[in-house]
Amino acid sequence: MEDKKYLGRRGEDLAKEYLRRNGYEIKAANYRAGHKEIDLIAARSGQTVCFEIKTRTDDNLAPEECLTARQTGRLKSALRSYCYENRLDSETVRGDLIIITINRKKSTAEIRHYLRAF
């Protein structure tokens, strides 16, 4: 279990580095609305972006297989809560997916960023 938690934390750290390099300002990490959670919230060019981070050690799943309908519903609900709490117009907020595939043998990571995933 600890290995899974470490992998998730490592993925979120890699995602933060990636986002900063690409001009995003990290606003929040692990935002919670009840039992719902958004991994990262960042801003760039006047737009707020909520990120779901999926970290894997293999690349067997297509992006559309990474988020179930239930997960997507929870993310959208958490996103609405964040918008309400921060008085944001939903037109300036989007939900993106970042998939990080870590190759432990080569000590490398591949980062794929999907816009408007939820």
Minimum mean pLDDT range among 28-32, 45-49, 88-92: 88-92
Which value, in Å, is the radius of gyration of the alpha carbons in the chain?
A: 14
Helix (H, G, I), strand (E, B) or coil at 87: coil
- The pLDDT tens digits of the residues spanning 28-41 come to 999 999 999 999 99
Mean pLDDT computed over every residue of the chain: 89
For the record, the structure tokens of 105 come out as: 């043998």
Fold held by 2-114: Trna Endonuclease; Chain: A, domain 1 (3.40.1350)
